[in-house]
Every structure is written in C-alpha cells, then in structure tokens.
Amino acid sequence: MSEPRLKLLLVGCVGLLAVTLERPGSLALLALAGAVALIRVPASRPYWGRGALVVGAAVWGTVLSQGLFYAEHPRVALLSVGPLSLYREGALYGLVQSLRMIAVSLAGLGLVVSTPRDQLLRGLMGLGLPSGLAFMVMTALHFLPDTVREALEVRRARARRGRPVWQRSPWAWLALELSLLRPVVARLIRRARTLAESLDARGFDPLRVEARAPWGGSPGAWALTLAACAGTALLVGARLIFLAYTSGLAWFPALRPLYGWVRAWM
Amino acid sequence: MSALSLRQAGYAYPAGAGVGPVSLEVEAGEIVLLAGPTGSGKSTLARLAAGLVQRHGKGAPRGEVRVVGVEPHTASPGELVGLVGFVAQEAGDQIVASTLGEEIGLALARWEPGARAARVAEVLREVGLPEEPGRGTGALSLGQQQRLVLGAAIAPRPAVLILDEPLSQVDPAGAEALVALLRRIAGAGTAVLWVEHRLDRALAGADRVVLLDQGAIRWEGPCQEAPLPLLRELGLELPALRALDEGLAAAGLAAGGLAARWRGWRPPLAPLGAVLREEEGLRWSWGPGTALEVQALSLRAGERVALLGGNGAGKSTLLRLLAGELGRGRPHARTQSVPQEPDLTLFCATVGEELAYGPREARRRDALDRVRVVSEALGLLPLAHRPPPSLSRGQRQRVAVGAALTCTPTVLLLDEPTSGQDLAGVERILDALEGALSDGALLFATHDVDLALRRATRLLLLDRGRLVWEGTPAQALAAPPSGLRLPPLAERCRAWGLPYLEPAALLRGQP
C-alpha cells in the first residue's frame, strides 16, 4: 500500500474499534489483524521475536496486576495464595485493556515501519493537518520504533564491553532493561535537537498547510480501506445505539436483535 | 553591509562555558574558515551565527547576529531559508526524507515543481551524488550522507552558508570536489562560514581564517598568513607544504640537501607477532549492487592496518562484519570496535563511568589503573566527571576510543577514529593506541591518507566492496595504486626521494 493517507485511515479505524469493542475475543481478532499487517512489512522482521516477547509481557503483566488488585463487586476468585487472590473480572478487564493497547500499537508500528518519515508527514499534511502538527504526530508515531532501535544499539554497545544481554534473575534483567532508559532518552533528545535545527534552517514552517495532492493507491488498497471504514462506521454506530439503550436515552423494540448482537460480540 | 555580522556575540550554556563575546564579519563571496582545538566553541559559534541556539538552546545568547541585516532567529521560515543554509556535524541525524530528491527538495517547498526538479538534479550533480532523485537515503554511507545534507543546505541558494565539518567523512577526491564546489558557491556571491579540522586542505580553499581558542578569537587574517607557531600551539593541522618550505628556508636548505639527509634511510620494521584474527569469505550485501566480498583477511599482533577507499567502498561494512554486528554474527572475544558515530557506544552518566564500565564488568583488579592510564593518554582526566552528551564530537570520539581501550582488546576496530579531532587529538589517540595495544592489532578505516601513510604498518584499499590493493605505506608511496590519492606533501616526498614524515621530522633528518 503506497498511499500513506489510506494507511492512516486504516490505523484510525483500528483506533476507533479498539475503544468501541469490549469483548476479549473481538479485540483479539483486531490485535491479530494488526499483527498480520505488521508481519506483511519485510522491514519489521528484526522486531518479530522481541515484539512477541513484549506483547506476551504486556498481556501477562496487565492481566496479573488487574486480576490481583480488582476491587469491584461482584468478583470471583480464580486462585488464592494466602492473602492474595486472582479475580476473574479483574483478569478479564486487564485482558481487554492489554488487547486494546496491543492492537493499536501493532497497527501504529505497521504504519511507521512501512512508511518513510517524509511520506508519513506528507500523508498527514495531505489530510489537512498544518505541517507543525503533522510533524509532531509523525514524531510521536515514530517514538516507539526509534526508542526500540536506540535501546538495541545501547544494549549492543554494552554487550561489546562485556555486559551479558540476558540475566538469569528476572529482577536483574528488569534492572538492566530499565537502566537503558537514561542513555536512550539522552540520545533521542540529541537526535531530535539536531533534526529540529536542521528543519528549522531549511525553512520548515509549522503553520504551513499543504495543497491537497491527489490520492494514490491501488484498487485493492482502496477496497480494503473502504471496507474497513464502512465496517468501522457500522460497528461504532451499533455501539452508539447500544449505549443509548443502556443509558436509557433511547430504546427501540425493533432493534432487539442488534442489542443482543452487540452484547454477544462487541 | 556584511553578509554575516557578529558583534560582541556570544552564548553561555546553562551549565557554564560557551563562546564569545566574538565580533566577526563575513562578506558576500568570501569563505571564512573557523578553526580551533576540539571543544573551543566552533560548533556553538556556528549555531549562533545561524540563529539556532537562540531558538533551540536553553542558555543565554548575547550581542548581535545579523545575516544581510536581518537577525536570523527572528526571521520567518520563508525568509530564513533564503538567508542561512546550515549543515551540522551529525549528517545522519539531519536526514528526514526517504529519497535523495525529497531531501534536497525539502527547503524548496515554495518553488514551482519544474524549477524544483531542475534544481534538485543540479544539486545532486554538484555534490557528487547519483543523479537519481528517487534513490533511497537508507543505504548511504556517512560520506554520502554528508554530501546529501550539504546539497540540502545549498539548494535554496542562501545568502550565508554555515558548515560544521562538512569534510570529516568525505574521501580525499570528494573533499577536493566539495572545496571546489564551495569556491563556486562563494563565487556566486554566497558568504561561507566553514568550521573545519582538516586545515591542510581547507586553508587552500578559504580566503580568511579565524582561530578560536577557549571561546575567543586568537587570530584572524588571510589563510596564507596563518601563523604556523600558533597553529602548532593550538594543536591544529599545519599546511604541510608551507611548513616544509618555511622550514627549508629557515634552515637554508635546498631540496637536494634535505634528500641527502635521508639518503639510505629505511623505516624501522616492527616485528610482527602471532595471527590474532583470520577471516575468510567475508560477504555482505545491503541490496542490489552494494555487495562486499573480501576473500581473506588476517591481523597479526603489532600490526596497525589502515583501511582506505572512497565513500561507499564498504569500509564500515567490513568493520561491522568483523565486529560481528551484521547478520547472525557474534562479537568476538577480545575484539572491540568503535563505530563512526561515537554516540552509538556511549551510555554512562559520566566519562569516568564510561571508561570504567568494561573493566568493572570483567571484574578486573587493575580496573582503576587501566582507566587512569587510558584517561591520561587520551587527555580525558579533566573530563572525568562530565556527562558524555555535554562534550564536543571530537571529545566524545576520544571517550569512545578510551572506553574500548580499557577493555584490553587484542583486536581493535576503529571506524574513522580521528573525525572531529584536531591534530593534537589525532596524535593523542594514535599514541594512546600504540601504547595500550602494543601486543594487539589495530584495523582502522580512514579517509585520512596522510594519517594512514604515517602511522599504519599495512594499507588495504577497498573499491566497490572488493579488496583491490594491499601493501605497506612505503610501497604505496613508491607506486601509488590507482584509487589512492596521495596528499600534496607525499607527492613532494616522492618527487624528492624522501620518506613520508611530517615536515618537522623531515627537517630534523635521520633519527
């Protein structure tokens, strides 16, 4: 898919669906779609192994923390060890939150890994964003892969000077990973400053709005994007109708099958 | 009215130090060289002149900076692009676009598409990059990246061009072409302020030189009159031919007399030790037409091997392969490497911690001694408590080399170890390497042929990913292989039948 605006629309659809869907199964499907989109980008290959680890750690950490500290009632204890209990409702809530985060992260990662910075910037400006805002969004989207890349560089530098990359103790491993933060942030700031000065010197105007370029993209890309947009619009619409019913604003007997469908699948 | 005018201008960093107050005028069509020891404030002054530290820095600017009468930090983006073109040291960090054409065209956003495309093609030709605007920027060597950012800066034809070490990663032929390009740009009326350490070449290309020391101007005047004693005192590279000629004149010697002093002399050959690394079939490909293939390579104890070749020849790729950083490679025991960008290896809070990291990880008992010896050798003791990001590029490079040396490697791989260094820094690094690596082997990639001829024991010449020549410096001097451009002093030594040494050593005669 060569048209960055189509990709941005697809990522927007994933973002909307991530806040619309509440069932773990549906969110898992959404996250899977994000993963497939990412895997299809050859440039993402070096990140697969570590990415899977991060996804696993994110799900595990959120499910465990939410399951242990769930304070609402009613709640069902799945497992109790001394004073600690793991509650089903908390674990489910944690699963939903982590799947939302993963779906959006994977889609965003797919977008930035497959789209060079300038194309992404042009795509955002092509959607009508002023160049300054577009630059901020582009930088924010690139923050995660840039941080990962910098962290890998620092780890490699440490390994060269004798620090083992893997530690047996999980706490030692965690401490090692956390200690990457300072040099990584320092380097990101340095690079960002150089880039900002370079753009500044080249007359980059943060308030400039680009004339809209004609949309590109293959018929297949257009079909996929239109289908995703239409599907998202339908699902968001269904959620809004369901919300109107649950909050007592509007209820239509003819829409009973829709209410049931939203409750079961969304 | 001067194109660039600094009146009592200065900048103080929040943590102290900085530059100025400095008064300096650069006229339209003039090239002014800004030289000084590492950390003397050249880069800060360049950023001040471009109006960048005023907008992006947290320190205190003072005095007045004007570009054709306009304060650059108050100019609108549309105005600024026609006023100042700026090229920072870190070429890779300045590249935004995915293609050469887009990168160069970034500053031409307000131009008509036809004029913009024509200007992009013209700039690509001028800076010596392939005339393929659609070509990607991802696989460029550092030297090519430097050409690209220079192209992006000159594209809108600014009134003032400010360059921070634009030649540090460019091969000798490319550097000569870029100096000629700067002359053409200045000839068209642009004022150029050029920060550079490679003075031998730069002094020949500039009109005037300003020598900066500890944030203040020590001397300014025509390049031909730059005082050699002051250059020596500041630890800067000397214009070699001029130094030799003046030395000969002072000693009342002619060429024949100097040759007689060296008749029959042969450079001492250091005995070589055991083979420390032996590699066969080194291959790597970055994409179509960019493959590296070296059949065999060995490094012996006591060797100082210089890896030469033009931009994009594959020098960095070969070093990364040997360091185990590409593909499924693994770092070799006792092999350390320092990449071109020192920032890629620095991660500790202070210089002292950075140097102590390796020995501490290895739980070496002599860690402190090792750190002290290396710090002293590289002149890093006064910087021990400073965070690496606060240092100049040349200083960071020295820290990166020091951090590798404290790990007591047997094989050290260095990629352009002397970029961003003044001559004193270069000599300091090489002396430290010779001291700390007496039983090891050093393989360093460099564009500095002078350095390779003077300090290496063996030269390897790469061209388009192939090892095309191998020999000693003496062999290279006697019959230079095609693709190796000798420095002017080397040509003179060759013509006069002299060994290749620095002018002062030549004048002293045989040791």
Q: What are the chain B neighbours of A154 within 8 Å (beta carbons)?
A: 347
Indicate if the pLDDT at residue A178 is higher than 80: no
Chain B residues lying within 8 Å of A116, measured CB to CB: 97-98
Identify the pLDDT of residue B445: 92
**Dist. CA A108–CA A98, nearest whole Å:** 15
pLDDT digits (tens, 9 = 90+) for B132-181: 888 888 778 777 888 899 999 999 999 999 999 887 777 887 788 888 88
Q: Are B155 and B123 in contact (CB under 8 A)?
A: yes
pLDDT at B152: 92
Q: B100-114, B308-322, B332-346: lowest mean pLDDT where?
A: B332-346
From the list A207, A162, A87, the residue with the least C-alpha distance to B406 is A162
Measured in whole angstroms, the distance separating CA B298 from the mean position of its chain's CA atoms is 27
A203 and B84: CB-CB below 8 Å? no
Closest chain A residue to B155, measured at CA: A202
Using a CB cutoff of 8 Å and minimum separation of 24, what contacts does B479-486 make? B483/B309, B483/B310, B484/B308, B484/B449, B484/B459, B485/B172, B485/B173, B485/B176, B485/B449, B486/B449, B486/B453
Mean per-residue pLDDT over chain A, rounded: 84
Cα A167 to chain centroid, rounded: 28
**Cβ(B459)–Cβ(B465) below 8 Å:** no
Task: Residue B55: list chain A partners with CB under 8 A.
Answer: 200
User: Which pLDDT value is given to residue B9?
Assistant: 93
At B329 the pLDDT is: 66
pLDDT of B328 reads 67
Q: Is the pLDDT reported for residue B267 higher than 80?
A: no
Would an 8 Å CB–CB cutoff place B345 in contact with chain A? yes
In order of A85, A110, B398, B403, the CA distances from A35 in angstroms are 32, 8, 43, 40
**B363 against B184, higher pLDDT:** B184
**Chain B CB contacts of A194 below 8 Å:** 88, 90, 93-94
Q: What mean pLDDT value characterizes chain B? A: 86
| pLDDT the model gives residue B151 | 92
Decide if A209 touches B, using CB distance below 8 A.
Answer: no
Report the percent of chain B where pLDDT is more than 90.
29
In this structure, is the dihedral angle defined by the CA atoms of residues B268, B272, B277 and B280, taken in order, positive or negative?
positive
H or E segment to which residue B227 belongs: none
Question: B5 vs B427, which has greater pLDDT?
Answer: B5
Single pTM value for the model: 0.76
Chain B interface, best mutation among A161, A182, A191, A207, by max B CB count within 10 A: A161
| Mutation to test the A interface, candidates B320, B347, B374, B412, most A Cβ within 10 Å | B347
On chain A, the residues whose CB falls within 8 A of the CB of B110 are 203
Residues of B with Cβ-Cβ distance to A201 under 8 angstroms: 50, 52, 80-81, 84-86, 153
Determine whether the interchain pair B77/A201 forms a contact, defined as Cβ–Cβ distance below 8 Å. Answer: no
What is the per-residue pLDDT for B293?
A: 87
Contacts of B475 (CB under 8 A, 6+ apart): none
Among A156, A160, A205, the residue with its CB nearest the CB of B78 is A205
Among A133-142, B120-129, B266-275, the minimum mean pLDDT is found in: B266-275
Nearest to B78 among A180, A183, A203 (CB): A203
Do B84 and A202 lie within an 8 Å CB cutoff? no
Minimal Cβ distance to B96: which of A117, A159, A193: A117
B329 touches chain A (CB under 8 A): no
Query: Mind giving me the DSSP string for B157-203?
Result: --SEEEEESTTTTS-HHHHHHHHHHHHHHHHTT-EEEEE-S-HHHHH
The predicted pLDDT at position B399 comes to 92
- Provide the Cα torsion B145, B148, B149, B150; round to 10°: 120
Q: What three-state secondary structure class fits B146? A: helix
pLDDT in tens, B146-157: 889 999 999 999
pLDDT for A1 equals 65
Does B317 have pLDDT greater than 70?
Answer: yes
Q: Look at the alpha carbons of B5, B9, B13, B18 in this order and tell me if their dihedral is positive or negative.
A: positive
Q: In chain A, whose CA is at the least distance from the CA of B153? A: A202
Shortest Cα distance, chain B CAs vs residue A122, angstroms: 10
Predicted local confidence at residue B288, as pLDDT: 66
> Chain A: residue nearest B358 by CA?
A161
- Whether B140 has its CB under 8 Å from any CB of chain A: the answer is no
**Contact residues, B window 87-106, toward A, CB-based 8 Å cutoff:** 88, 90, 93-94, 96-99, 102-103, 106
Average pLDDT over residues B271-292: 79
Q: Which ipTM was obtained for this model? A: 0.73
C-beta separation of B164 from B133 below 8 A: no
- Cα separation, B392 vs B41, whole angstroms: 9
Pick A195's closest partner by Cβ from B94, B331, B407: B94
Give the per-residue pLDDT at B64.
93
Residue B329 CA to residue B56 CA, distance in Å, equals 41
Name the pLDDT band for A86 (thresholds 50, 70, 90): confident
Residue boundaries of the structural domains of chain A: 120-205+213-217
CA distance A156 to A154: 5
pLDDT surpassing 90 at residue B28? yes
For every residue of B11-59, DSSP letters joined together read EE-TTS-EEEEEEEEE-TT-EEEEE-STTSSHHHHHHHHTTHHHHH-SS
Contact between B109 and A203 using a beta-carbon 8 Å cutoff: yes
Identify the pLDDT of residue A3.
83
B333 CB within 8 Å of a chain A CB: no
Scan for tokens 């050093």, then name that residue.
B442
pLDDT tens, residue by residue, B376-410: 888 899 999 998 877 877 888 899 999 998 988 88
Encoded tokens for A188: 């990101």
Contact yes or no for B429/B453 (Cβ under 8 A): no
Each residue's pLDDT tens digit, A118-155 = 788 888 888 888 877 888 888 888 887 788 778 887 88
Spatial distance between the Cα atoms of B494 and B352, rounded to a whole number of angstroms: 44
pLDDT higher at B67 or A45:
B67
The set of long-range contacts for B363-371, using a CB threshold of 8 Å and a minimum separation of 24, is B364/B408, B367/B406, B370/B406, B370/B408, B371/B406
Residue A160's nearest CA partner among B362, B432, B341 is B362
Predicted pLDDT at B23: 93
Predicted confidence band of residue B332 (pLDDT cuts 50, 70, 90): confident
Between CA B434 and CA B446, with CA B440 as vertex, the angle to 5 degrees is 60
Residue B447, pLDDT > 90, answer no
Mutate to test the interface with A, among B67, B96, B116 (most CBs of A within 10 A): B96
- What is the token pair recorded at B458? 């063996």
List pLDDT tens digits, range A198-210.
888 887 777 666 6
B403 interfaces chain A, CB cutoff of 8 Å: yes
Q: Looking at the complex, does the CB of residue A231 fall below 8 Å from at least one CB of chain B?
A: no
- The verdict on A145 touching B (C-beta cutoff 8 Å) is no
- Give the pLDDT score at B504: 84
Shortest CA gap B42–chain A (Å) = 16
More confident position, B195 or B279 = B195
pLDDT band, residue B49 (cuts 50/70/90) = very high
pLDDT of residue B79: 84
Place A163 in a pLDDT band, splitting at 50, 70 and 90: low
Interface of B with A in 15-54 (CB under 8 A): 47, 50, 52
Interacting residues of B420 by C-beta distance below 8 A, sequence separation 6+:
B38, B89, B165, B168, B197, B392, B393, B394, B396, B397
Give yes or no for A45 touching B (CB within 8 A).
Answer: no
Q: Which residue of B has its CA nearest to A205?
A: B77
Q: Which residues of B touch A187 (CB under 8 A)?
A: 343, 389
Lowest mean pLDDT among B29-38, B219-228, B271-280: B271-280
Distance of alpha carbon A36 from alpha carbon B490, whole angstroms: 60
Asked if B54 contacts B61 with a C-beta cutoff of 8 angstroms, the reply is yes
Query: What domains lie within chain B, and their CATH numbers?
Result: 4-97+147-238 (3.40.50.300), 275-484 (3.40.50.300)
CB B74 within 8 A of CB B85: no
What CA–CA distance (Å, rounded) separates A89 from A77? 9
List of chain A residues whose C-beta atoms are within 8 Å of the C-beta of residue B50: 197, 201
User: Residue A158: closest CA among chain B residues belongs to which residue?
Assistant: B345
Question: What is the Cα–Cα distance from B486 to B176, expressed in whole angstroms?
Answer: 12
**Within 13 Å and on the Cβ side, how many CA atoms surround A150?**
24
C-beta of residue B394 within 8 angstroms of C-beta of residue B383: no
CA dist B383 and B393 (Å) reads 13
Question: Touching check for A182 and chain B: CB below 8 Å?
Answer: yes
B290 pLDDT band, cuts 50/70/90, is: low
pLDDT band with cut points at 50, 70 and 90 for residue A170: confident
Distance from CA of A114 to the nearest CA of B (A): 12
A74: preceding bond cis by omega (within 30 degrees): yes
Give the DSSP H or E segment for A58. helix A48-68
Alpha-carbon distance of B144 to B169, in angstroms, equals 8
B359's tokens:
């020995």
Whether B85 sits inside 8 A of A201 (CB atoms) is yes
Which one, of B497, B492, B418, lies nearest residue B242 by Cα? B492
Residue of A nearest to B156 (CA): A202
